[in-house]
Amino acid sequence: MILTLDIGNTRIKAALFENNTISDCFMLPFDSWQLDLLEYLKNNPNVSEIVVSSVGKLNRNDFSFIENSHKLFFVDRNSSFPFHNKYQSKATLGIDRMILAAGAVLKFPNQNRLIIDAGTCITYDFITAQNDYLGGAISPGIRLRYEALHTFTSKLPLLENQMPDNFIGDSTNNSIHSGVVNGIIYEIDGFINQYQLDYSNFIIILTGGDAEFLAKRFKNTIFANPNFLLESLYQTYQYQNLK
């Protein structure tokens, strides 16, 4: 069994793969992740390999406590990827975006791919049918937008995610929900429409923590998979073994 760990900005997401399929999916809190991981490994003794990607909060040294008991592999910029990186500032391209791009290439060959990761930030990544990674865009995610309205104003409340009932908000709370959620939906639809003007035959992949919350509201046909990054991490690791 192979355990994959995606260390993001706000949480650690994990998935256990058995016979190339996710058999378990869970979260690890940052404040107790080492103890929780040890407990999980104790309860799942068949885990032989651990594959990790990190946007920067943790590094390989933080995993020294399990290196003697498990094979550990970090996917980073020095790893092999199945695309041509055309990004101008390659040193600042997030490893999570690179892994998503790799997963899209491996899962959906010979077509243009747009990956939308709706998490802390919303990232857009475009890879051509010729496997050229061109880049995309970054904007604030749902939680960041709610928090920004509360933090940088004197009276607006901090609200939890809620799908608005109406386009026109009839109260301050409903106006915030409409502005945040509908704003993101129109933003994503706008990006998709712009790509459609320039490219044909492309698949749209929506992933991230807010993927399921947003998926049903889009006009465009979207392949929604909240675990696409974890699946892509596993596929990227398998790709290393074939090199």
**Any idea what the Cα angle at residue 216 is, between residues 144 and 129, rounded to 5°?**
85
96 assigned to active site:
yes
The catalytic residue among 6, 31, 76, 96 is 96
131 exposed, middle or buried (CB, 10 Å; 0-12, 13-18, 19+)?
A: middle
Calpha distance 81→127 (Å, rounded): 12
Calpha distance 188→178 (Å, rounded): 15
For the stretch 18-39, what's the b/e string if a residue is b when 16 or more beta carbons lie within 10 angstroms of its beta carbon? eeeeeeeeeebeeeebeebbee
Q: Which residues are identified as catalytic? A: 96
